Amino acid sequence: MRVLLVEDDPALSTEILLALRAENFAVDHARDGEDGWHLGDTENYDAAVLDLGLPTLPGIDVLQAWRSAGRTLPVLILTARDGWGDKVQGFKAGADDYLVKPFRIEELVMRLRALVRRSRGHADTRISCGPLTFDAQIGSFEKDGLPLKLTGLEWRVLSCLMLRKGVVVTRTDLAERVYEGDVDVDSNSLEVIIARLRRKIGHEMIETSRGLGYRLRAPEL
C-alpha cells in the first residue's frame, strides 16, 4: 500500500513516516500544499493523509483540486481544527475521514487500513483466497491458519493482489504501490518478489497474465 502524507510539521511528519513504514506502508511526503497537490494529481496512491494548515496552499484547496480533477483516492484529513464547521467543510470538500490532533498513531494506521480496504470494495476486515487469509485491519497474513512471515516488499505486493483478488493487477500498478518516490524500478525486481511469494503461498496462487501483470486466485481443487 502506498500513501501520500501532506504535513508540514517536521516532528509529527517524522513520527507518522516511521510508524507507517514500520507497518509496511510505502509513504511519500510533501511538506506544503502545492507539492502535495502535485503528487496527488500525478501519482497513484491507495490513500492520502492531508493536513489542513499547510504553507503555499491550504489543505482544503488541495482536496477540492483533487476532487475537481476526478481524483478518487481516499483522503484522511489530519488537523488541529476540531470545530463542527471545520469538519463539515472538510467532508463537503471530499474527505473520507477526519482525525483531530493530538491523536494516537495506532488510530491513524487503523483508519488508513479501513479506508483502503473499503475503497477496494471489502466490507469484511478478513479477506480470504483459498488457504490464504488477510486481516486488513491489523495487516496480518495467514496460510492454512498459521502466520505467514513476509518482508516489507512482499507484504506490499501480496496485500495489493489480495485486495484485488481475481483481477489482473498490472506490473506498473504494482510497482507504483510498492516503491516510494520516483524510483526507476528494475524490470526484474517485481518478478523476484513474485517468485519469493509463490514459494511461500503456492506457485499456483499467483497467475501471470503475459504482457499485463499478475492475478491472485484460489487454487483449483
Q: Which CATH superfamily is domain 2-119 in?
A: Response regulator (3.40.50.2300)
Return d(Cα 139, Cα 220) in angstroms, integer.
26
Q: Looking at the domain that runs over 126-216, which CATH code has it been given?
A: 1.10.10.10
Residue 16's closest CA among 84, 95, 99? Answer: 99
Domains 2-119 and 126-216 share a fold: no
Return d(Cα 199, Cα 192) in angstroms, integer.
11
Per residue in 150-171, pLDDT tens?
A: 999 999 999 999 999 999 999 8
Return d(Cα 157, Cα 179) in angstroms, integer.
10
Say what the pTM is. Answer: 0.86
What does the domain layout of the chain look like in residue ranges?
A: 2-119, 126-216
Q: Is the pLDDT of residue 81 over 90?
A: no
Cell of 181: 518516490
List Cα–Cα distances, 26 to 29, 65, 178, 196, 197, in angstroms: 10, 24, 6, 19, 18
pLDDT of residue 184: 59
Per residue in 198-216, pLDDT tens?
A: 999 999 999 999 889 999 9
Cell of 139: 495487516
pLDDT of residue 177: 83
Return d(Cα 145, Cα 80) in angstroms, integer.
42
